[in-house]
């Protein structure tokens, strides 16, 4: 019985029936959802969006895009665990924390340098600019903090180091090509073109975590470590403790 079980587990997974088209679909879901949430607040006569709307616009598009990626693997593949590497091992926390700290050692001085080159207003993230001048209740501010620190990294890793990475491997790209392209597109997909060089610096250690282990668990933890300080800064700003 045990031998038969081992033979079944050793069988290769069926080929995936999805590729780069799935990634384009997921990006379209993100862009369309983001536009639909923002459109009601664009144009003359509209004041700043309410706090609840800002939190929804921050979380819903990225969660829907990640959910679509997972759904694609369930319908046309072998599920997110096999297709995307969405697995967590006992050592992911330690390794992810290490890669995340290494990323901070790179990104903090890089951010200071970039700010001196382009100016503080152009070096701040689009998320930070979205919340400038806002004051939130404690529950909503904590919601933003958790979204930036924990939720967004999970969703973004599923889309980029998961779906896009696996799509690149499916068309024959080796892991280094997958690493390079996902690093680049992750930086560009934020549509913060004055910050693209800085986003590339931030993305490299996160991609290295995925490259080293083959699991999203490690890169998710590394991404969350990287996002902790910006999320904390947003929390303090939204509570009125600090200013931009």
CA atoms within 13 A on the CB side of 42: 6
Residue 80 lies in a domain: no
The answer to whether position 44 is within a domain reads no
In a domain, 66, yes or no: no
Of the candidates 85, 97, 96, 108, the residue with the CA atom closest to the CA atom of residue 202: 108
| pLDDT (tens place) for every residue of the chain, 244 residues total | 455 444 444 466 778 889 999 999 999 999 999 999 887 777 666 666 788 888 999 999 999 999 999 999 999 999 999 999 999 998 999 999 999 999 999 888 888 887 787 776 666 677 777 787 788 999 999 999 999 999 999 999 999 999 999 999 999 889 999 999 999 999 998 888 888 888 899 999 999 999 999 999 999 999 999 999 999 999 999 998 887 5
Looking at the domain assignment, is residue 148 inside a domain?
A: yes
Q: Write out pLDDT tens, residues 164-210.
A: 999 999 998 899 999 999 999 999 988 888 888 888 999 999 999 99
Residue 232 and residue 142: Cα distance in Å, rounded? 9
Q: Give pLDDT tens digits for 21-40.
A: 999 999 999 999 999 988 77
87 — phi, psi (to 5°)? -130, 155
> Is residue 49 included in any domain, yes or no?
no
Domain with 224 in it: 85-238
Structural domain includes residue 176:
yes
Cα distances (angstroms) measured from residue 65 to each of 71, 125, 155 = 10, 21, 8
Residue 68 inside a domain? The answer is no
- Count of domains forming the chain: 1
In a domain, 65, yes or no: no
Tell me the helix, strand and coil percentages in the chain, rounded to 5. 75, 0, 25
């Amino acid at each position: 019985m045990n031998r038969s079980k081992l033979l079944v587990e050793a069988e290769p997974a069926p080929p995936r029936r999805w590729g780069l088209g799935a990634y384009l679909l997921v990006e379209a879901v993100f862009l369309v959802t983001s536009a639909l949430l923002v459109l009601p607040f664009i144009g003359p006569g509209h004041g700043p969006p309410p706090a609840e709307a800002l939190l929804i616009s921050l979380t819903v598009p990225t969660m829907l895009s990640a959910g679509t990626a997972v759904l694609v693997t369930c319908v046309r593949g072998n599920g997110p665990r096999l297709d995307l590497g969405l697995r967590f091992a006992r050592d992911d926390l330690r390794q992810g924390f290490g890669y995340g700290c290494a990323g901070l050692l790179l990104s903090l001085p890089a951010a200071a340098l970039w700010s001196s080159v382009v100016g503080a207003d152009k070096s701040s993230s689009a998320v930070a600019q979205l919340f400038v001048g806002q004051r939130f209740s404690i529950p909503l501010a904590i919601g933003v903090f958790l979204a930036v620190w924990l939720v967004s990294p999970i969703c973004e890793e599923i889309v980029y180091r998961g779906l896009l990475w696996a799509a690149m491997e499916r068309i024959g790209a080796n892991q280094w090509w997958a690493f390079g392209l996902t690093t680049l597109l992750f930086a560009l997909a934020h549509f913060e073109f004055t910050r693209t060089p800085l986003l590339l610096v931030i993305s490299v250690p996160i991609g290295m975590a995925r490259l080293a282990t083959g699991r999203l668990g490690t890169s998710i933890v590394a991404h969350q470590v990287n996002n902790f300080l910006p999320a904390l800064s947003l929390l303090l700003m939204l509570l009125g403790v600090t200013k931009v």
